[in-house]
């Protein structure tokens, strides 16, 4: 998901997505530790999405 799309969402929707991405990251790390993860490139993608959401939430907080 791109930052432009994230800016259009409300803070509540962003918090829901943030929780989902954090849960996914936890699951990916768990799979990686048990050698069950096939696509290791997904971990940095999820981390970047979390950072994007946090950045958008912060800009909305400062701007409001």
Total of domains in the chain? 1
Q: pLDDT category, 1, cuts 50, 70, 90?
A: confident
DSSP string, 19-64: HHHHHHHHHHHHHHHTT--S-TTHHHHHHHHHHHHHHHHHHHHHH-
Range of the domain at 38: 3-63
Averaged pLDDT score across all residues of the chain: 95
Residue 64 pLDDT > 80, yes or no?
A: no
Single pTM value for the model:
0.91
Is the distance from CB of 43 to CB of 32 less than 8 angstroms? yes
Q: pLDDT category, 42, cuts 50, 70, 90?
A: very high
CATH of residue 37: 1.10.287.310
């Amino acid at each position: 998901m791109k930052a432009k799309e994230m800016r259009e969402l409300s803070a509540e929707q962003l918090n829901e997505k943030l929780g989902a991405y954090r849960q996914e990251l936890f699951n990916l790390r768990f799979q990686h530790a048990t050698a069950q993860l096939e696509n290791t490139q997904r971990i940095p993608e999820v981390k970047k999405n979390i950072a994007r959401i946090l950045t958008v939430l912060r800009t909305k907080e400062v701007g409001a």
